[in-house]
Amino acid sequence: MRKARQLSQIFFLFLFFFLFLQARFPYERLLPSDLFLRSSPLIALTTFLSSWSLETKLVLGFIMLVLPLFLGRFFCGWICPLGTTLDFSDKVLFHSKHSRNKNVATSFRACKFVLLIALVVAALFSLQLVWFFDPVVILTRFSTLVLYPAFAVAAGSIFDAAFKLGIFEDQIYTLYHWAQKTILPVTPPHIIHGLPVLLLFLGILALGLVGRRFWCRAFCPLGALLGVFSKYRLLKRKVDSSCTSCSICYEKCRMHAIADDVTSTNPIECIECGECVDECPSHSISYGIDLPKQNVNSNVDLSRRRVIWASVGGLLGAIFVKTIHSGTEKTASVIRPPGAVPEALFLDKCIRCQACTRICASTGGCLQPSLAEAGLEGLWSPIVIPRLGYCEFNCTLCGQICPTGAIQPLTLEKKQQLKIGLAFIDQNRCIPWRENKDCLVCEEHCPLAEKAIKFDVREVRTNQGDRRVVRFPYVDENLCIGCGICETKCPVLGAPGIYLTAQNNQRIISVS
């Protein structure tokens, strides 16, 4: 079974990154790029509970809850891309540390059920926290904010070096042109706040020092949810009478799902990896279909007190985050992507996966993860930072790729009429207003047929006493849609002469 499982893990990991790289302009998809996010039952459950709306894309996540009833935690052992990453890092980095720390790792496995309860209770009180713990979100966000920018910079450096060498120029240019059209961003991504995402990911990998798949054993709430549905699964581990009780299967089990008597298995913890089958010297272990029945050692590691404390923790967490002073003021000033639902619902639905940030990097590149701009509840939610990029006039990709409906899909016609903000001229910074010299950059880049940047044409006297005609720009509030390209392209160094605000922003309540 080991080779089959490893091939499955490699296939789904490559599929994950293939779909990840597929998320670009133009969005010509074979499969939805957010397929793995859609397939997470934890995302589907908490998003439904926090927003009390069922997004069509997330139905797959609820369907995935049927899989454990037959195959147990098959997703964890054979499909999960983060689980595959942990298996690799555990094998390469921490292989010698595992055996002596098995019991320590096992003592923490109740934590994932505590986290699951706390997340569900917090979601019931309109606080979405799944984005910090769901394994698919964690890997998607890490790939967007750390791996992809690093890859883009490294690839750019390699191509620069190759061009400087001056050999095989035609072939290198052909390869570079192909890479630009398929995997590289149109412009180098200006991704900020990647360091905390990197530290979180490295922390999860470092847990391998304690035990194999320690994250999966102790902290993964998705594993806990799948485990609860796996308790009475049909596919079971079987041990026949030829067993010699050598305990090799017990020692090799990465999830410590095998009991001390080596014949009993905890179905809530078992991820169906099949390693016990491969390692058994007497070939006494197999997997087969068996009717559900009460299994020894199959109880969830939770006491009534832990359930109560987890519920109280979820409730208090929701109350704390919802009532702190900074959130209300800050979320009113941030600029959200076009198609974003009203702010409170947006925060309930957004899982901070950064799928929108990733696909936006292939067009205007305006979306970035927030840090303190949107308050604590808005941490890592996508915001428009127009000094780094603009909202492409002919793009609707963020709404197409959002798995939870926090950003609704829009037709191009509707998107081009939707206002996400309003630009203002800073007369102390703008070149015509400050220096009495013409600058047409903002007006030239405005994508509207009837430009939202207008000019007040006047004759002025310079400091040298000369007279000249200067066009002073101003913004027509009725026309500006807040795409931000004027701020992005403003040639003034530092603070721009024209800047975007969230004023006049329109949110989507329903899509007709």
- Residue-wise DSSP of 210-259: TSTTHHHHHT-HHHHHHHHHHTT-SEEEEE-TT-----HHHHH-TT--B-
What was the pLDDT predicted at 501?
Answer: 95
Amino acid at 227: G
Q: What is the mean pLDDT of the chain?
A: 89
Closest CA to 98 of 207, 227, 200: 207
In the numeric block, which tokens belong to residue 120?
């569900």
Structural domain of 471: 419-504
Residue 451 lies in a domain: yes
**Residue 428 domain flag:** yes
128 inside domain: no
Q: Would you state the pLDDT for residue 511? A: 47
Tell me whether residue 304 is in a domain: no
Residue 464 inside a domain? The answer is yes
Please name which of 334, 398, 322 lies closest in space to residue 361, comparing C-alpha atoms.
398
SS3 409: coil
> Among residues of the chain, what percentage have pLDDT more than 90?
61
Inside any domain, residue 54 = no
Q: With a cut of 80, say whether residue 191 has pLDDT above it.
A: no
pLDDT tens, residue by residue, 368-383: 999 888 888 889 999 9
Rounded to an integer, what distance in angstroms lies between the CA atom of residue 144 and that of residue 179?
A: 18
- Give the CATH number for residue 485: 3.30.70
Please, which pLDDT band fits residue 334 given cuts at 50, 70 and 90? very high
Residue 251 within a domain: no
Sign of CA dihedral 139, 144, 150, 156: positive
Distance of alpha carbon 479 from the chain centroid:
34
Ramachandran sector of residue 283 (left: φ over 0; alpha: ψ -120 to 50; beta: rest): left
For the chain, give the percent of residues with pLDDT over 70.
92
Q: What is the total count of domains within the chain?
A: 1
Is 449 a domain residue? yes
Overall average pLDDT of the 45-61 stretch:
93
105 band by pLDDT with thresholds 50, 70 and 90: low
Q: Is residue 452 very low, low, confident or very high in pLDDT (cuts 50, 70, 90)?
A: very high
Residue 7 confidence (pLDDT) above 90: yes
Q: Is the pLDDT of residue 441 over 50?
A: yes
Dist CA 139 CA 16 (whole Å): 10
Positive or negative: CA dihedral 491, 495, 497, 499: positive
* Per-residue confidence band for 46, with pLDDT thresholds at 50, 70 and 90: very high
